[in-house]
Structure 1
């Protein structure tokens, strides 16, 4: 990390003691999860911010979230918000000016915390999943009974549907810790986000990068969101300059679809939006039963100027096909 960036662990409840450096240079404090991947993501944000404003000083404030500490089902902690709430607290308390979130970890069934807003979404990374197998086998080459380490219900349902001869075993933690658990024999193979492997410099570990028809991605895959306080116009304006209009359209459509479905952390919901060469926006989504035996899907194309309408329309199509029953059934097993 370059010398203009500092890393300072802090409690979400700590008082705001930052008054800025005596030099009067502008300081932006960024809140983040403390995992190696999260810190790599923040380094990307730091580099892009300082390229915009070379005199800027960036202070990184990592926090270990309840989702990182807990090794059981996320449903027991109230869902994916377990990865974001402590970082949100840092932002709301004024201990940081900006929060960096993986949008796949930001709940879609409830609004973002009052008083905060997403200033932008960065240019999207790869949305695909990767298979990590020490012997280099592909998914189709794995023998019956191979233990695939994953706790994502989206992946579990799709594996049960496409490769029922394989077994899944629960495995949680950041990407580095999952790779360590694989090495320790807790699983025979792993499924991880390929973009995550890129961020930690471990792409060589991927035996296969799965196309989206083989393993449909989660909502918000490969997207980093920069969250600010609504009353902090200066930071919101600065962060907003990093945004990708295409990623904004895609993520808005996906998250509106998820919001209308009222999907939760135990819902096997997958989908992604993409810009088409003709300028329109395409959204495809699927909802599965937990055992993968039932799936409903919908895809539509609409004007890029109205991603909210596209997301709503796809969600309503899924609901007409029975998505609500599948989501409620998955909630009953949480």
Structure 2
């Protein structure tokens, strides 16, 4: 049954239970309450990805952060959901009946390398050979491999605070890599080195999901939509879909609107260690994001991206 939003009604917003996810959801809730005469209740939903402590590939990839939330939304237990777009797989169709009605204005996309509080090292260039760097992202691993193939890049999962705690303990890692936006959203002011690497597809973007048939809620959520962010996302996601990579595929993609108004998209696909890669950088009219993404995907495939993707076990 379609749920009608009445003035002063309550909108139930579902999200993961991690501290970062809750902060992000509350920011979306506050913005929606500013824009419309509604009250938003944030509901935490623990996902399989949050419960699992091993490699995400064992659960089928990043979709493990979404399945329980998708089911709650489809079943009407929540009205909207907030996801980090970079955690939305590109090779798995979204559930029928759900739609991303808003992409919140893109935040910082930078990756930052952090060092133990007690360490005198403050730059990647100063890390010793075979220094241990923690990250869970295959995209970061590959690009670090291009810059410093002598480093030992090791798998690191957990929420931001737990990762920082393990770093500062000084026993496991000499550095870790995190999204700078996650530190800012959590109010963590910590010095680090911004890395010159291409972000993940959807980096820095919060996507707000709802039931397609719930027209009143779709209209409400669209108040949060940022047109330029949607244009960039359309290009990045079209590229990702065209490549049909899996959760272990090191794929990077970033779209931006140039000063002349054109939409630019850079895409890269790597081997696991970054020793081989293909690259594409193209432009289009700002309203042709999907066409641009499809073109860049085709260009990358023409240059050998399929062999790189298929050469990495899923």
Given that 1:68 and 1:174 are in contact with CA atoms closer than 8 Å, whether structure 2 keeps it comes out as: no
| 1:231-242 map, 5 Å | 231-242=213-224
Which of 63, 66, 75 is the aligned partner of 1:93? 75
Q: Which residue of 1 aligns with 2:177?
A: 191
Matched, 1:50 2:50: no
In the aligned structure 2, how far is the partner of 1:305 from the partner of 1:170? 38
Matched residues, number: 309
Gaps of 5+ in 2: none
Unaligned ranges ≥5, structure 1 = 1-15
* Structure-1 separation of matches of 2:163 and 2:66: 20
Q: Note the alpha carbon deviations across 1:199-256, whole angstroms, 9 max, x for none.
A: 1111x2232122xxx2211100000000000111111111111111000000110000
TM-score of the superposition, structure 2-length normalised? 0.95
Question: Which residue number corresponds to residue 297 of structure 1?
Answer: 279
Kept in 2, the 8 Å contact 1:130–1:206? The answer is no
Equivalence for 1:108 = 90
Is the partner of 1:205 in helix, strand or coil? coil
Q: Return the TM-score normalized by structure 1.
A: 0.89
Out of 195, 215, 228, the position equivalent to 1:246 is: 228
Superposed CA RMSD in Å reads 1.8
How far apart, CA to CA, are the structure 2 residues paired with 1:127 and 1:268? Answer: 17
- The 5-angstrom pairing of residues 308-323 of structure 1 reads 308-323=290-305
Distance in 2 (CA, whole Å) between partners of 1:269 and 1:295 is: 10
Residue equivalent to 2:140: 155
What secondary structure is seen at the aligned counterpart in 2 of 1:118? strand
1:177 and 2:162 aligned: yes
User: How far apart in 2 are the matches of 1:159 and 1:19?
Assistant: 49
Q: CA deviation at 1:24?
A: 7.6
Which residue is 1:67 aligned to?
A: 49
For residue 33 of structure 1, the aligned residue among 1, 12, 16 is 16
Deviation at 1:186, TM superposition (A): 2.6
Distance 2:38 2:191 in 1: 37
* Equivalent residue in structure 2 for 1:220, among 202, 209, 213: 202
